[in-house]
Amino acid sequence: MATKEEVKRYLSHWFQLGKKVVVGNEGTSLLPQPIFQGDRYSKEFEECWQKILSSASNCYLEGTQETIAELLTPVWEMSPCGRCTMPVAMRTVGMPAAFCPCNNLPDWPNTELPSPRCPINNEEQLKIIRDRLLGNFSSASH
């Protein structure tokens, strides 16, 4: 089953490539900007996420057929796309989703660009790099 956090991460990745969430009963689409604020999701993204949750049965990611409410049921899980490695909804039982949202992005996958990501805590990442460097330094001095 895809958790709320996994669906949230899935949407944040696709938002970074310009995909929108369509709100079917309103005829509007949502694409928050910016997506990140420092090491967390932005206020705009969080407000968009709350709107999506409140209309989940009528919302779907552009280029897909499954509603957000469907993705939050035990029938779906998030897995990497075989073509582009972006998160894609897969049925846990039965047939997979008809399309990956990447199917209508003509310039994707593009290995020349950074891949979409989750929020990053810069301090934690720098500590990991420091610890890795210190580990290599201490093993080289033996």
Distance between CA atoms of residues 96 and 64, nearest Å: 12
At 79, is the secondary structure helix, strand, or coil? strand
How far is 124 from 126, CA to CA, in rounded Å? 5
Distance in angstroms between the alpha carbons of the first and the last residue of the chain: 48
Asked if the bond preceding 34 is cis, omega within 30° of 0, the reply is: yes
- Whether the model clears a pTM of 0.85, i.e. scores above it, the answer is no
Q: Quote the CA–CA distance of 54 and 103 in Å, as a whole number.
A: 28
What pLDDT shows up at residue 40? 92
* 3-state SS track over 93-118: CCCCCCCCHHHHCCCCCCCCCCCCCC
pLDDT tens string 109-120: 777 877 787 777
Give me the helix-helix angle, 43-54 and 4-15, nearest 10°.
Answer: 120
pLDDT tens digits for 8-62? 999 999 999 999 999 987 779 999 999 999 889 999 999 999 999 999 899 999 9
- Spacing of C-alpha 58 from chain mean position: 19
pLDDT digits (tens, 9 = 90+) for 55-106: 989 999 998 889 999 999 988 999 888 778 889 888 887 665 666 777 777 7
Q: Is the pLDDT assigned to residue 142 strictly greater than 60? A: no
